[in-house]
Amino acid sequence: MKPGGTLAALVLGAAVWAGALAAAAGVAAERPGDPARGGAVFEEKRCARCHLPRGRGPGMGPALEAIRQPQGVLQLAGRLWNHAPVMFATFEKEGLRWPEVAQEQMADLMTYLQADPSRDPAPDLFQGQVLLIRKGCLKCHRLRGEGGLVGIELTKYHRGYQSPVAWATTIWNHSPRMAGHSARMGLLYPRFSGDEMVNLVGFLNSAAAASTQ
């Protein structure tokens, strides 16, 4: 299947997308998330410590009901990206290690938080290209050789853009390190709102596909 097919499938929805993904990237089909296991991950990774149900709070973060609501997976990934600096600071102060999350655990966690890839809208690739510059990614990364030398060449990360759950996992595990680099370089850590992450990942996926043809 051509990379363009992967993008088209994104519009069609999750089930078709998962199939197209496996075919396009040669990856094993992803195991569907399980909400009960996701609830256990939410406890185990200490999310529940700061995100308490309404009526049991206030917790340090927004109430559980505020983060557990019907949403897209990439939309939620954008929220997780925003989250890094505040959580990083708290964990560092308490001497705790960043809770790494494996991809299967992320799939479960996403299901528990009612995030579903079929709820992500189709990406606006032009907006995505604008965002890559506006969010400062190219201060550290290169795209087709242009940009900074701190992070990876972004077209090399093709597989990571093809699965929303894989992307959410990447964001979660790497954002504290990116936050650390931003602070050392005196850069403002960029925040994402609305569908910005959807558009950015859509653009990165198409740029990576174009450069591997």
**Contact, 201 vs 123, CB < 8 A?**
yes
For residue 143, the surrounding DSSP H or E stretch is strand 142-143
The Cα 42–Cα 64 span in angstroms is: 10
- CB 49, min distance to ligand HEC, A: 5
- CB 10, min distance to ligand HEC, A: 18
User: Which residues in the 24-63 window bind ligand HEC by CB under 6 A?
Assistant: 45-47, 49-51, 60-62
144 binds ligand HEC (CB under 6 A): no
157 binds ligand HEC (CB under 6 A): yes
Residue whose pair of structure tokens reads 């990165």 in the numeric block: 204
The Cα 25–Cα 168 span in angstroms is: 18
**Contact, 127 vs 199, CB < 8 A?**
yes
Among 25, 52, 90, 118, binds ligand HEC (CB under 6 A): 90
**Contact, 112 vs 165, CB < 8 A?**
no
- Specify which residues 146 forms β-bridges with: 143
151 binds ligand HEC (CB under 6 A): yes
Among 13, 35, 121, 190, binds ligand HEC (CB under 6 A): 190
Residue whose pair of structure tokens reads 């992500």 in the numeric block: 120
Q: Which residues bind ligand HEC (CB under 6 A)?
A: 45-47, 49-51, 60-62, 67, 76, 79-80, 82-83, 86-87, 90, 99, 109, 135-137, 139-141, 150-152, 157, 160, 170, 174, 177-178, 181-182, 185, 187, 190
